[in-house]
Amino acid sequence: MNNQEASKKISIKDFFDLWKKTIKEIKPDWSIYPETSIQGSVSSSVTPPIITYKIRKRKTAERSGRKPHYKKRFKNKNQDGNMVTEYSQRFESIIEFGIYSTSYQNVNKIREEFEETMLDYFGHFREEGILSLIFEEQKEDEVFKLKDNYLSKQTLTYFIKNEDVTVLTNNKIKEVRQTLDLPDDYKLIKSSFDKNN
């Protein structure tokens, strides 16, 4: 899964939404939740097999720098024709998927299916804007207690690279510039002092 340009841009949240939708279409019997949900409010309604997801680490991509980069300026077709400016920034993240089932044999089988699905659908994720999606590691197997049941858990981590886009109307940019151009408190006090002396 290589590192070329993607025609679309996608945030990490958008990727998780796309990933959930894709998995639900091909594996409707898999329960999918953010990891924090399974440990909290939805735990009473969850039935295995369960796939959880979370971001372990997210940072700006080495080559893109720590700030968004100007991409282009264009007329906004959806509003009143105001000019808008588009900025983008690339991110590299480590995401984690937890796979839970009722036995070691079941969780192992589901993990294998999960890995195959991630490979099979990389092209689809790429078309939607993911730049890179690479398997990193499988962590130590665990036993997890849920609703008085013990489940086998296998954890997989993936490296993902995406490009996030922010679009600002030029009116918003002008507001920010005007705010930044306001004199600071020291200048206001000094000018009023100078006027009074």
Residue 1 lies in a domain: no
Residue 35 lies in a domain: yes
Confidence of residue 40 (pLDDT cuts 50, 70, 90): low
Residue 158 lies in a domain: yes
Residue 193 lies in a domain: no
Residue 189 lies in a domain: no
Confidence of residue 2 (pLDDT cuts 50, 70, 90): very low
Closest CA to 106 of 35, 30, 38, 19: 30
Residue 174 lies in a domain: no
Q: Is the pLDDT of residue 27 over 60?
A: yes
Total domains, the chain: 1
Contacts with 44 (C-beta within 8 Å, 6 or more apart), sequence order: 147
Closest CA to 166 of 81, 58, 93, 84: 84
Secondary structure letter of residue 29 according to DSSP: T
| Residue 4 pLDDT | 47
Residue 115: CATH number of its domain: 3.30.2000
Closest CA to 141 of 125, 130, 156: 156
Confidence of residue 3 (pLDDT cuts 50, 70, 90): very low
Mean pLDDT of 113-133: 94
| Residue 1 pLDDT | 44
98, 51, 156, 60 alpha-carbon torsion, rounded to 10°:
-90
Residue 112 lies in a domain: yes
Q: Which domain holds residue 40?
A: 12-169
Give me the chain's average pLDDT, please: 82
Residue 176 lies in a domain: no
Q: Write out pLDDT tens, residues 140-161.
A: 999 988 878 899 999 999 999 9
